[in-house]
């Protein structure tokens, strides 16, 4: 009987405790703070496509931490703080790294309509700050960053993630990694292809402008990194998808001068079919062909 008595008391207490249980998810689980999305990793990289005629838009985002919505509207202001680029270079890249240092993006390259956002009560936990980029002013080998810092909030506190470097990954419709099948042909006096040798490799085509990409000459390796001496530029005519070819740097180009060239690009197959001719040191004329198929 005593055992039944105690069991009854236990169930009664459990019933009382059950009625008073509070769902922890109904209460804030974290400290409310305001931060820049991506600032935890210090550098946030956005892909932007070259466009010769229109500004392109990218963004950063301001957000609030916490498990619940905001109790009130929060006004947030950010600012461009150039010295943050140097601080990042010193702290995270250093003087002995092979990685390039970031430089501050020139003001004429971009514009920001507003440096302020309002995080709405019970609304989205983040808001975007649009950035308009004048892409023709960005050299393909530049390593720019726009350094942002939260400078004021109307409520709550900022976190350590209040500084963000925005970097841009510049692309175009043709920039990608391709599988190359190449061939070199000795030409006779009538331009007929005689002896032929073949090669193949993976090649990276780097965006230069909206319709231009840069690639290493034939079977040269990207590991050489001598772009001035070893690179060609492919320019696609958007009206008929014909391709013209020229050295990246005519004065520094180490290969024989290209005497004729041409090709086509297939948007459906995402494939280049190009050729170029030159006169060798033996005074013979050669033609190189490359078929580049996007991976």
pLDDT 10s digits, 52-78: 999 999 999 999 987 677 889 999 999
Mean pLDDT, rounded, for 71-90:
96
Picking from 26-40, 142-156, 179-193, 222-236, which range would have the lowest pLDDT averaged per residue?
Answer: 26-40
How far apart, in Å, are the Cα atoms of 148 and each of 169, 189, 272? Answer: 18, 62, 40
Q: Which residue has the tokens 């780097």?
A: 206
Does 180 lie in the same domain as 205?
A: yes
Check whether residue 140 and residue 46 sit in a common domain.
yes
142/190 same-domain check: no
- Residue 165 sits in the same domain as residue 182: no
Q: Which CATH number fits the domain that encloses residue 283?
A: 2.40.128.440
Q: 18-22, 155-159, 260-264: which has the highest mean pLDDT?
A: 260-264
Give the list of residues 6+ apart from residue 237 with CB closer than 8 angstroms, or none: 211, 243, 244
E-only strand ranges, 21-172: 33-36, 43-49, 56-64, 74-80, 103-104, 110-111, 116-119, 126-133, 144-153, 157-158, 163-171
Determine, yes or no, domain membership for 17. Answer: no
Other residues' Cβ atoms within 10 Å of the Cβ of residue 236: 22
pLDDT of 177 higher than 70: yes
pLDDT of residue 18: 52
Structural domain of 137? 33-171
Q: Is residue 207 part of a domain?
A: yes
- Taking 50 as the threshold, does the pLDDT of residue 5 lie above it? no
Sheet holding 126-133, edge to edge: 110-111, 126-133, 56-64, 33-36, 157-158
Residues 6+ apart with CB under 8 A from 159: 33, 34, 35, 65
Query: Could you tell me what percent of the chain has a pLDDT over 90?
Result: 78
267 occurs within a structural domain = yes
- From 116, 143, 171, give the residue that closes a domain: 171
Output the pLDDT for position 245.
98
Q: Are residues 58 and 134 in the same domain?
A: yes
Q: What is the pLDDT of residue 181?
A: 97
Q: How many domains does the chain have?
A: 2
What pLDDT is attached to residue 71? 86
Structure tokens at 116: 């302020």
Is the domain of 105 the same as that of 160? yes
Nearest to 120 by CA among 63, 161, 36: 63
For residue 217, give the nearest of 180, 268, 267 by alpha carbon.
180
């Amino acid at each position: 009987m005593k055992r039944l008595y105690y069991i009854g008391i236990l169930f009664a207490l459990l019933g009382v405790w059950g009625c008073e249980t509070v769902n922890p998810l109904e209460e804030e689980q974290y400290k409310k703070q305001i931060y820049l999305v991506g600032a935890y990793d210090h550098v946030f990289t956005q892909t932007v496509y070259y466009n010769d005629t229109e500004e392109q838009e990218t963004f950063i985002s301001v957000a609030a931490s916490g498990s619940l919505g905001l109790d009130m509207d929060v006004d947030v202001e950010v600012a461009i703080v150039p010295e943050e680029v140097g601080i990042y270079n010193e702290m995270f890249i250093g003087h002995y790294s092979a990685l390039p240092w970031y430089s501050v993006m020139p003001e004429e390259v971009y514009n920001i309509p507003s440096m302020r956002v309002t995080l709405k009560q019970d609304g989205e936990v983040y808001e975007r700050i649009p950035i308009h980029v004048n892409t023709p002013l960005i050299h393909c080998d530049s390593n720019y960053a726009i350094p942002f810092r939260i400078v004021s909030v109307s409520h709550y506190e900022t976190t350590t993630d209040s500084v963000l470097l925005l970097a841009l990954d510049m692309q175009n419709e043709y920039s990608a990694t391709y599988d190359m099948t190449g061939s070199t042909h000795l030409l006779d006096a009538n331009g007929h292809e005689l002896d032929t040798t073949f090669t193949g490799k993976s090649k990276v085509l780097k965006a230069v402008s909206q319709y231009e990409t840069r690639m290493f000459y034939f079977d040269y390796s990207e590991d050489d990194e001598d772009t001035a001496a070893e690179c060609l530029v492919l320019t696609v005519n958007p009206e008929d998808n014909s391709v013209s070819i020229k050295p990246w740097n005519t004065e520094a180009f180490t290969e024989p001068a290209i005497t004729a060239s041409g090709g086509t690009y297939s948007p459906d197959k995402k494939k280049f079919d190009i050729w170029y001719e030159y006169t060798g040191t033996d005074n013979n004329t050669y033609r190189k062909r490359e078929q580049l198929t996007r991976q």
